[in-house]
Structure 1
Amino acid sequence: MPHVNAPLTPTGRLRMVRRHLEDGIPKAHVAAEFRVSRPTVTTWVARYLAAGEAGLADRPSVPRHSPQRTPVVVVELIESLRRERKWSARRIHRHLLGLGHELHLRTVGRWLNRLGISRLRDLTPDGDDLRRPPQRIRAGWPGHMVHLDVKKVGRIPDGGGWRAHGRGSTAAKAAKRGPGAKVGYTYLHSAVDGFSRLAYTEALADERAVTTIGFFCRARAFFAAHGIEKIHRVVTDNGANYRARDFTRCVEALAGRHQRIRPYTPRHNGKVERFNRLLADEVLYARPYASERARREAIGVWVNHFNYHRPHTACGDQPPASRVPARVRNVMPSYI
């Protein structure tokens, strides 16, 4: 399809050529009549004489020779490895390098995209889906699964940091250079019941195993005060504090089982990950704070609001405390 502003279409080119060949009008006069240059008339006349009306059609802009183009044999090998073995682009790239083909990883990914097989579901024919259907991780009752996680945030210096005074401001620079400038980090340990979404949070100085054990014991007491006497499973990621033997022994002694999620799969611990996201959006970065103490107080107020007042869609637009055995309100706030 010619460009909308093109002076000539294939039909217009044919009329132009016939004006010269059939009517005998000189090329210069034809060029002036059709408002094109004389070499343009010469080009289309030559193509018409060589190929007829077919020579007046637009030609592709693909170059005749592409020395850097991936060989057809390599493309076929990429497709076969992907379809037959379901290898990833990175694994195919390493295999090709072993065969002596100097190919970039990004090139392999682009070829998979061009071939329409970049996703695993593209390899499964319709009606023959052998992949495991997506499943949600559901807790059957309060205490069935308790999810633990740690969120690391920078401490706020006294007087407020750059969020309160502006990045690069005089006050922000003075806070960096003043006494106690290296304020370090705050580690927000959180535990969320997978059934009720009841949450418990503490702001602690580190994320060592001994600190995590103390947090878990206090979280267990918090859940027990709400009627969750027995914790059947504790779900964590693969952090060093959760992989420690002492932590595992503590969990097995106070709860039923310690389950670590698959590495690099945070969605398996999604309930506490979502809680951390809400905590960040609604408290941590919702407004500037003048000190670390002020932010910790705000976290305590928000967690209390989350448990007893804030509607939760997973609880039928009711607060998490409505789904625990003990119908209590504000029984034990988080230790901030």
Structure 2
Amino acid sequence: MSHATHANAALTPRARLRLARLIVDQGWPPVRAAERYDVSWRTAKKWADRYRDEGPDGMHDRSSAPHRQPNRTPAPVVRKIVHLRWKQRLGPVEIADRLGMASSTVHAVLVRCRLNRLTHIDRATGEPIRRYEHEQPGDLLHVDVKKLGKVPDGGGWRYVGRQQGQKNRSTTVARTGTPRSKHRDPVIGTCYLHTVIDDHSRVAYVEAHDDETKETAVLVLRNAVAWFAQRGVTVQRVLSDNGSCYRSHLWRETCAELSITPKKTRPYRPQTNGKIERFHRTLAEDWAFKKFYNSESARLAALPAWVHQYNHHRPHSAIGKAAPITRLNNLAGHHT
């Protein structure tokens, strides 16, 4: 087992051992050995004494912490602090108020226990987030559907204001012939974005459709598998939520035909499919609502270029700020 040496050490553990052996085993005076290694005689004597007492294992740095810390927070109190932090996700001020102690002391305990930040804890359950990544491209594909309201002719309310947006919406409804409901305002329709993410590389494949039926979901899967195959990736498994299109016999039969193992997320646990949930957020922020589109067709026309930018040029923080396509190791010319 290797031991780190502090930054200002004059000697490495190996040099300390040689120095100590000169004094203990070969009988050199500490002063002469100290001159040989350009250290003080006190340093030479210290390592010689440790060598006599502990052997070669004594040549490593020791902790500078005091042997006794009478003012350290008692273990039972530390357990209470950790429990309140872990199970109720309370901050230092709230924990200190409950336990009748200084918030600075609570914060020091949380830092020592590495609980001062809760980014690694699931907000819903308080359990540690188990991050995983499959080893090879194609080992697992995440699939899901992102629903977006279509952009009315003339632009949506986010850019033209609610009054003008409502007019544009009504005009588009009249043109497209969407039926009017007695209990709901007329709608211009929904765009169903069928998205596929490779777990290892984060490479994305997206198709826009007008529904999320089992037939459409199967069509997208076939197209995605073929698209990845053209890039040297063989798909092994596919992970979906429990939507009706993914619970169908057609979905299971198609997976069997393609030699893919279908997997399902835990019910009511979108975190299980977190990679694609995060991609949907990026999709909405950087493409769907990033700029003004004067129609749904204009927004959809911009989708292929955005997906290409995401796959080939956008640095992804989860894979070392590399572009996802660079992780498809069999792909020639993937930087273009």
Q: Give TM-score, length-normalised by structure 1.
A: 0.56
Q: 1:178 aligns with which of 171, 174, 180?
A: 174
State the aligned residue count.
208
| Residue number in structure 1 paired with 2:157 | 162
Unaligned 5+ segments in structure 2 are: 1-97, 100-112, 114-125, 179-187
1:168-222, Cα deviation, whole Å (9 max, x unpaired): 1274365366322632111000100000011000001100000000000000011
SS at match of 1:178: helix
Residues 176-185 or 144-153, more deviating: 176-185
Which amino acid in the other structure matches residue 228 of structure 2? Answer: F
On the 8 A contact 1:165/1:171 being kept in 2, the answer is: no
| Structure 1 partner of 2:117 | none
Q: Which amino acid aligns with 1:264?
A: Y
Larger radius of gyration between Structure 1 and Structure 2: 1
Q: CA deviation at 1:244?
A: 0.7
Take 1:296 and 1:258, find their aligned partners in 2: how far apart are those partners? 29
* The 10-residue stretch of structure 1 (314-323 or 261-270) with the greater mean CA deviation from structure 2: 314-323
Q: Deviations over 1:55-105 (max 9, x none)?
A: xxxxxxxxxxxxxxxxxxxxxxxxxxxxxxxxxxxxxxxxxxxxxxxxxxx
| Aligned residue type for 1:203 | A
Q: Distance in 2 between matches of 1:238 and 1:173?
A: 33
CA distance in 2, matches of 1:188, 1:213: 14
The RMSD of aligned alpha carbons is 2.9
Letter of the 1:214 counterpart: L
- Return the offset for 1:136: 1.3
Correspondence 1:136 to 2:141: no
Given that residues 321 and 329 in structure 1 are in contact (C-alpha distance below 8 angstroms), is that contact kept between their aligned partners in structure 2? Answer: no
> Which residue identity does 1:238 align to in structure 2?
N
1:200 is paired with a residue whose SS is strand
Paired residue for 1:234? 238
- Please list every run of 5 or more consecutive structure 1 residues that lacks an aligned counterpart in the other structure: 1-113, 116-125, 332-336
Partner of 1:327: 331
Match of 1:276 among 264, 280, 292: 280
- Evaluate the alpha carbon distance shift between residue 173 and residue 236 of structure 1 in structure 2; reply closer, same or farther with a 3 A threshold: closer
Map Cα deviations across residues 135-167 of structure 1 (whole Å, 9 max, x no partner): 213211111110001001111222223234210
1:292 Cα deviation after fit: 0.9
SS in 2 for 1:187: strand
Please say if residues 326 and 334 of structure 2, whose CA atoms lie closer than 8 Å, have aligned partners that are also in contact.
Answer: no
Q: Is the 1:165–1:172 Cα contact (8 Å) retained in structure 2?
A: no
Judge conservation of contact 2:151–2:296 (CA < 8 Å) in 1.
Answer: yes
Shift, 1:317, TM fit:
1.5
TM-score by length of 2: 0.56
Residue in 2 aligned with 1:190? 195
1:132 deviates by: 7.5
What's 1:59 paired with? none
- Opposite residue 278 of structure 1, the aligned amino acid is T
**Using a 3 Å threshold, how does the CA distance of structure 1 residues 253 and 218 change in structure 2: closer, same or farther?**
same
Identity %: 38
Please report how far the alpha carbon of residue 266 of structure 1 lies from its aligned counterpart in structure 2 after TM superposition. 0.7
Corresponding residue SS for 2:205: strand
